Structure 1
Amino acid sequence: MTGRARLAISAAAVVVLIAAVLAVFVLLRGGPDEAEAVAAPSPSATPSPTPTPLTEIEQLLADADDPSACAVEFTGDGIVDAPMLQTQGALYAGLPIPAREGMAFGGWYSAPDAATAFDPASRVNGADEVVCEDQRIELFGSWMPSEQNAAIGTRVPILMYHQFTTRPEGEDHWLRGNYAYIGDFDAHMGHIATTGFYLPTWDELSAFIDGRLYLPPRSVIVTDDDADQTWFDLAVPVVDAHGVLATSFMVTAYRSDPAPSIHVLRRSHTHDMHEAGDDGQGRMVNWTADEIAADLNTSGDVLGVREVIAYPFGHYNDTAKQGVAQAGYEMARTIEPGTVAIGTDRYALPVVRIDYGMGLDSLISLIG
């Protein structure tokens, strides 16, 4: 045997000896269980199952963690708006108004066939309460060629009320004409609620003016100026009873009550411009655009919204329009008679004034 062979055998013997010593050490230190653990091969780990990812709607609801939340999905040709959360029992808020070249959006509907037919009875907007099953609802959108929308010729009356009275004979002071008999108001709201009128929201009216949105021919907006106490005490219960969306134009320097009903929107009648200026006309036509914007910013902060204002006394001029726009409001309402059509000056919206003695027949003659 050569010396190299003897050396290899000696090295192998050393390796065997070291392994034996280590085995004895493990047995002495850790006992038979640990020895077996060292000696036995470890079983292969079973991989954890990969969780199925949540859909976008499921994720919305999971993040909300609110049983009153409702996930709204929007469906229709060319509709790409993401699902959004609404609150069951509240009115719909901030529904999208998609845009498409050469088309007017036809609105959101509860069923696809209703969307195709532009059925106003099935149209859903911010005048409707959110009702859904299993915290989900699907709304269907439709489109109308812009030329067809213009040809329909919808004109939207904005009804303007002021104060209210329980006296059928009316009040007997100089503001007599401003006081609508509450029985007449009840008849008005009942007619609007039960004869197929559509109640546009202000963002819908803005899009309609631009020609971007179709509104049904029998559309109407209900408003009250000044937020007089008679509005709260007499008129709001009628609005609630009929479920008619109404807007209260509030002078926020005088009062800033929370919305008295889910059916009442609070909007600006300015903060403190319901006063005469130096020339006896309203401050709205006496102040600079910067002063007007500052006042309206205060009002917007109080109400939490900048969308539409009602000019105090109906007074306005180009400077007033500039101030309104500068403060970030999209529209302003006058007291000039008329109805809103596509292309109407958004800072000079006309109204249909309701005075004392105007019963249901008078309203029907004005709005159908």
Structure 2
Amino acid sequence: MARITTLEATRGPGAVLAVIVVSNLMIVIDVSIAITGLPKMRESLDISAAHLSWVHNAYALAFGGLLLLGARAGDILGRRRMFIVGLALFTMASLVIGLAPSAAWLLAARAVQGAGAAVLAPSTLALLSTNFAPGPARTRALSYYTSAIGVGATAGLVLGGLFADLVSWRAGFFINLPIGVALFVAARRYLAETPKAAGKLDVVGAFTSTLGMGSLVYGIVRTAEAGWSDTITVASLAAAAILITGFIVNETRAAQPILPLRLLMNRQRSGAYAARMLFLGGMAGFWFFTTQFLQGVLGYRPLTAGLAWPSFQPPCSILPPRYWCRG
């Protein structure tokens, strides 16, 4: 307790909280900021309808698949160090996305950005816990932290439409550069390194789970264009089955697995995991299809589509076209 109090006094709790909250806000915004700009991305980079989903899939799979590995790396290597590594990776990937000359560059950079978020995100929450003592101070800090998640998701949808409509969809990623640099400088100045714990990284578990889920999603998405009997589709689904099976076997044998399978034996915990998975899966699908419906079918401009997320607006035939619709 005394160590935490001293850390707060020497580092400044306000500055520490600002660095943590803003970094978390940047991560959350980037989950949704690309959604409203998807139609513009498709036009500028000539991305097919099926491949367009990978703008979100690449980020989400890398983020979710490597999240537990990123958290373990913070425990073993130091949370401040991993915070800075994740921030640098996230920021550099944002630059590449903004400059992407093709769909391949865009999707690869989104995957790298997701990996950076997987390293950065767990470090933010861990640093919050180590910098604020239990009680009112930590409760207040957690309230700001969790509020940033809700605000960031909504703000990202609106900002994505704003940039795509008035500037370019690329601007939504370029904005991460000055923010990332400022956070990098502030993190080195205000964040103290945490004690390192002994342990091992379950690299095999992290990559088999990530690649397995990636292969599964790729196979399912490919069926939209090639069908279930396509050779690549079948190969992708078979690879997914092998990799996911390998992940399960690895988790039973690893000395320190990233996902101890005994956690899934608890009915309440497994139910909560399933509910969360269904909720996030439904939300991501809703975002992906609705933004294209608003802009491609109803004819909304990107900015209007972003502002329409809180509640759908009437079709363009009812509203003044110059304000709501293209043309």
TM-score range, shorter chain: under 0.3
Higher relative strand content? 1
Structure ranking higher in helix proportion: 2
The two structures have a TM-score, normalised by structure 1, of: 0.22
Point out which structure has higher relative CO (alpha carbons under 8 A, 6+ apart): 2
Question: TM-score scaled by structure 2?
Answer: 0.24
